[in-house]
Amino acid sequence: MNAFIQTQALKKTYQLGDQRVEALRGIELTIAQSDFVVFMGHSGSGKTTLISTIGGLTRPTEGSVSIEGTDIWRLNDRELSAFRNRKIGFMFQSFSLLPSLNVLQNVVMPVIFRKNGKREKTDAIRERALSLLAGLEMKKKIDAHPSELSGGEQRRVAIARALINEPDIILADEPTGELDIRTEREVIEIFRAINSQYRKTIIVVSHSLSWLESAKTVIIMKDGLMHLDVPDPVEALMGRACRP
């Protein structure tokens, strides 16, 4: 497999008072470009720590994360920020949007932190944002503020924002958490479309089994270890033994 994202001996240990918690215990992972990976597992299994380490948000205790050949944890703060801004689009379960900004401003917000952001014309950025919002059926609400949007609408805006800088990777942590089944389905469809149409590499962390149908790769996380090629993820999540 052509390694687009690769982790080597990735470990993360937290010190919680007197207790040491090994959130990641030597993760070896390779993700190809345009893959659609879903991490599933119980709370505390280490899945969020893994994608935040891949996304350059949490520094690992040991090991490395390489994206397109760049060891991201060797970059300094400014380089890593620029890398995240350029290469990765993030989506979080809650507090995804800044309440002081309207929909359009939230979508274009990552552009202001782009190193070459000044070179791109404001009109071009605005057009791209409007196009993304139109594709997500949110064009009519560009002036609305987050408090005026439903949960599903907020996720769509967050997706548009994640795409505004045309990143190669979308990292989403519980993107359908707290959503009803219908809206969850819509959001998953959007992710699938992004993966198939724009060829973006998508990495999702979720508890929801609804993602199983859409993902190309499903990885079960348990006790800081990764379980690939699980024949029956549902069984695995129900607590049956799975092969590391």
Contact track, other proteins, 55-74, x by CB under 8 A: x-xxx---------------
According to the binding rule CB under 8 A, does residue 170 interact with other proteins?
no
**Which helix (DSSP H) or strand (DSSP E) does residue 106 occupy?**
helix 103-108
- Alpha-carbon distance of 154 to 133, in angstroms, equals 11
* CA-angle at 129, arms to 187 and 151, nearest 5°: 35
Residue count of the chain, please give it: 244
Nearer to other proteins, 48 or 201 (CB): 48
- Alpha-carbon distance of 220 to 235, in angstroms, equals 11
Give Cβ neighbours of residue 222 (< 8 Å, ≥ 6 apart).
Answer: 41, 42, 45, 236, 242
**How many C-beta atoms lie closer than 10 Å to residue 62's C-beta?**
12
* Subset of 105-144 contacting other proteins (CB under 8 A): 105, 108-114
Nearer to other proteins, 136 or 162 (CB): 162
State the nearest-atom distance from the C-beta of 231 to other proteins, in Å: 26
Contact track, other proteins, 87-106, x by CB under 8 A: ---x-xxxxx-xxxx---x-
According to the binding rule CB under 8 A, does residue 175 interact with other proteins?
no
According to the binding rule CB under 8 A, does residue 36 interact with other proteins?
no
According to the binding rule CB under 8 A, does residue 81 interact with other proteins?
yes
Nearer to other proteins, 123 or 213 (CB): 123
According to the binding rule CB under 8 A, does residue 23 interact with other proteins?
yes
